[in-house]
Amino acid sequence: NLMGARLSGSYGDTQEPKTNPLVSISDEPETLYKRLSILIKGHDKAVLDSYEYFAVLAAKELGISVEKVDKPPKTIERFTLLKSVHIYKKHRVQYEMRTHYMCLELKYLTSSTAAVYLEYVQRNLPEGVAMEVKKTKIEKIPEHIRKPVWDTLPQVEETEVKS
């Protein structure tokens, strides 16, 4: 009987789920993000395609629903400059900058999940690629907008009209 009592503690540990010592849970309520819209800009389409595969797979693995993956058309910025330092107006040189875009829309994330996903995805952002993240947070109506404050204030006679 004594042997059974001592062993039951260790058996109880194996049945419980193992908690990660790095995870700390706080009591404050999570902010909710209805939509996370990530726009990736880069000069090379192949790099953007690889990054899209990585971001979509990461979202799937972390359990985030991907609403859609949009690929807006590329923009080309061209300008013509003089080829020479001094005179020779007839001889010019033309440059162009091509920017490819990729838009990833994710739905229904909590702030912890969004922080984890965004940090993972931003740390692995390749060189020369830029990102814009548009977060849509949803909130309840705050307490002071539930009812007009004039109901609670005492009646005050207004003698003059405020201009």
Partner 1 sequence: MAAGAGRCCRAGLSHGALLSWALPFPVALSQAVLSRTAGGALGTPRWGRAASSSAAAVSGREGPQPREGSVRRRGRTPQFVRSAAPPRTERMAVDQDWSSVYPTAAAFRPASVPLPIRMGYPVKRGVPPPKEGNLELIKIPNFLHLTPPAIKKHCAALKDFCTEWPSALDSDEKCEQHFPIEIETVDYVSSGISIWNPKARVVTLRVKLSNLNLDDHAKKKLIKLVGERYCRETDVLTITTDRCPLRRQNYDYGMHLLTVLYHESWKTEKWESEKSEEDMEEYIWENSHSQKNALDTLLQIKTSENVSNVTKEELLASEVVKNYRNSVIALKNNSETESNMSQYKESVKKLLNIQA
Consecutive H or E run containing 121: helix 111-123
Binding residue for partner 1, selected from 9, 12, 63, 73, defined by CB under 8 A: 63
20 lies in the binding site for partner 1 (CB under 8 A) = yes
CA angle 118, 119, 122 (to 5 degrees): 80
DSSP letter, residue 78: E
**Under 8 Å between Cβ of 54 and 102:** no
Stretch that binds partner 1, among 66-74, 75-83, 90-98, 124-132 (CB under 8 A): 124-132
Binding residue for partner 1, selected from 4, 9, 12, 142, defined by CB under 8 A: 142
98 lies in the binding site for partner 1 (CB under 8 A) = no
70 lies in the binding site for partner 1 (CB under 8 A) = no
Burial of 15 (0-12, 13-18, 19+ CB in 10 A): exposed
CB atoms within 10 A of CB 110: 13
156 lies in the binding site for partner 1 (CB under 8 A) = no
Which parts of this chain interact with partner 1 (CB under 8 A)? 20, 22-23, 30, 32, 34, 44, 46-47, 50-51, 54, 57-58, 61-63, 108-110, 112-113, 116-118, 120, 122, 124-142, 144-150, 158, 161-162
